[in-house]
Amino acid sequence: MRGTAARPLASAVVRRSGGIDRVRILTTGPAASARETADLTDAELAEIYRYPADLADRAWLRVNFVSSVDGAAQGPDGRSGTISGRPDRHVLALLRALCDVILVGAGTARTERYGPATIRPAFVALREQLGLAPTPPIAVVSHSLDVPDRLLADPRTIVITSRSCSPERRTALESRVDVAIAGESEVDVAEAVAALAQRGYRRILSEGGPNLFAKLLAGSLVDEVCLTQSPELLAGPAMRITHGPLLAEPTRLTLASLLEEDGFVFQRWLTGSHRETPG
C-alpha cells in the first residue's frame, strides 16, 4: 500500500510432538523474506480485497469493522473512529472504492456522523476500471426513519425501512431519497439485501454497527468479514463488533488474508462455504 507500507505477514511451519503436528507462525521479524515484508502497492492491495468476478445472480456482502486488541469496537467517545488510524483509514477507503453500495444502520450513521461517501483521488481510476459510479450511495437501515440530514441531502441515499414505519415520515422522505420496504413490523435484513441486489448493487460493504452485523449473521447473509485489529487495549464496557442474541450455531470462518502496517493487523475472513479467495 503506497505511503502506508502494508505488509503480508510471513508464515512458517513448525512441527511439534505431543498432539499438534503443524503450527503456523505469523511474523514480520527478521526471519521474514524481503518480498514477504515488501510494501504493497494500491493495485496489489485491491487485488487482495477484490470481490468475486461474477455476481450476476447474487450479491456479495462484506462487513468491515475495527476493534481494539481486547475486542472493543468503539473508543471512549462511542465512535469507532477513535480506535482507527492512518493504515485503517486507507484500507477503509479502498473497500469503499471497490463496492457498489455502503450498508449501515441508522444508529451508526448518526454516531459516526455519516454523510455522502467520497472516494480518495488515489482510487478514482480503480472505480473507473471496474465500471462503477464515481461514488457509492449509502443505504441506511431504519425502522424509525431517523436518518442524518447530511445523508438526506444526497438523492441517491437509500433508506431501508419496514412497512409499519410512519407513513407521514415515509412520504416526506420519498421526495428526497430512495425508500425501500423490507419487512413488516421491523426491517428484515434478508429483504434489505435483496432490495439492494435488485437495484443492481451486488458488491455490498456493510460498515455496521454491531446490532446490524448480528442480524446479518443470524440470517446467514455475510460472505466476508474484514476486521482491523487496532494496537490498543481499552478495557471498559465497549461493545464488540457483534451485539445481539447468541447465534444458534457459531459462524465458522476461514482466513483469506492477513496484513500488518504500523501495528494494525488486517484480517479478511470468509464464511460458510466460501473456502476459496474470491476472484
For position 9, what pLDDT does the model report?
A: 66
* DSSP states along 219-250: TT---EEEEEEES----TT---S--SSPPSS-
Average pLDDT over residues 35-41: 67
Average pLDDT over residues 187-213: 96
Q: Please count the other Cβ atoms lying within 10 Å of the Cβ belonging to residue 88.
A: 22
Q: Which residue has the higher pLDDT, 21 or 85?
A: 85
Task: Return the minimum-mean-pLDDT range out of 57-61, 68-72, 271-275.
Answer: 271-275
Confidence of residue 36 (pLDDT cuts 50, 70, 90): low
Of 182, 181, 93, 183, the residue nearest 136 (C-alpha)? 93
Tell me: the pLDDT tens digits for 240-258?
999 989 988 899 999 999 9
Distances (CA, A) of 219 to 64, 67, 249, 267, 274: 17, 23, 11, 22, 16
Q: How far apart are CA 98 and CA 96, in angstroms?
A: 5
Q: According to the per-residue pLDDT averaged within each range, which of 26-40, 44-58, 94-108 is highest? A: 94-108
Three cell numbers at 33?
523474506
**With a threshold of 0.95, does the pTM exceed it?**
no
pLDDT at 174 over 80: yes
Evaluate whether 39 touches 72 at the Cβ level (below 8 Å): no
Q: Which residue has the higher pLDDT, 15 or 211?
A: 211
pLDDT at 239 over 50: yes
For position 147, what pLDDT does the model report?
A: 95
**Mean pLDDT for all residues in the chain:** 87
pLDDT at 2 over 60: no
